[in-house]
């Protein structure tokens, strides 16, 4: 029959004891370490997902603030253009007003100068008329003398009047 050697039984018993000892003292701690590593890796993935979500949120906020800054810059430029346009219109309006005022003042000055020239001519005519009257009265009156005085008066007043008109 089959004969089992006692050494073989002891080897099997030793192997079974060794298996249970290794299982208890080696496999369980190694499996625990592996399980802890799995949990740690899962936590790292979870943290990475959270960080990724936060990064996406920050990116969205950044893009929104960048868009807001662009819109604000566009608004600032539009406001500056509007203010510049208003200021330009004000400057042009002021320049036109000053120009009109200067033109009016120049016209008034010319009118005053013309009035002064007319008064001066009238005084000169009056003086010449008085001088002619004095000459007529002072000299003997004759038709030839009267004509000469009249012609002299006309030539003097005509010369004065022509020089004032030119």
Q: What is the pLDDT of residues 98-141, one digit of tens each?
A: 999 999 999 999 999 999 998 888 888 877 877 777 776 765 55
Using the predicted structure, report yes or no on whether residue 1 has a pLDDT greater than 80.
no
Q: Are residues 128 and 153 in contact, defined by beta-carbon separation less than 8 angstroms? A: yes
- Label residue 27 by pLDDT band (50, 70, 90): confident
How long a stretch of residues is the chain? 166
- DSSP letter (8 states) at residue 5: -
- DSSP letter (8 states) at residue 140: P
Q: What is the percent of the chain where pLDDT is above 90?
A: 56
Handedness of CA 67, 72, 77, 81 (dihedral sign): positive
- pLDDT recorded at residue 146: 63
- Label residue 55 by pLDDT band (50, 70, 90): very high
- pLDDT recorded at residue 139: 59
- pLDDT recorded at residue 98: 94
Q: Write the pLDDT tens digit of every residue in 59-103.
A: 999 999 999 999 999 999 999 999 999 999 999 999 999 999 999
- DSSP letter (8 states) at residue 22: H
Alpha carbon distances (Å) from 23 to 27, 30, 56, 90: 5, 10, 47, 96
């Amino acid at each position: 029959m089959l004969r089992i050697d006692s050494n073989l039984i002891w080897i099997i018993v030793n192997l079974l004891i060794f298996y249970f000892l290794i299982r208890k003292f080696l496999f369980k701690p190694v499996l625990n370490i592996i399980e802890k590593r799995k949990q740690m890796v899962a936590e790292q993935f979870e943290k990475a997902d959270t960080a990724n979500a936060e990064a996406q949120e920050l990116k969205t906020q950044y893009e929104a603030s960048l868009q807001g800054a662009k819109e604000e810059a566009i608004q600032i430029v539009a406001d500056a253009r509007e203010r510049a346009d208003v200021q330009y219109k004000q400057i042009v309006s002021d320049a036109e007003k000053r120009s009109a005022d200067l033109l009016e003042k120049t016209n008034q000055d010319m009118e005053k100068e013309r009035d002064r020239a007319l008064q001066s001519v009238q005084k000169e005519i009056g003086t010449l008329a008085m001088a002619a009257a004095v000459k007529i009265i002072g000299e003997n009156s004759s038709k030839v003398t009267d004509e000469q005085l009249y012609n002299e008066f006309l030539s003097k007043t005509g010369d004065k009047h022509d020089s004032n008109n030119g």
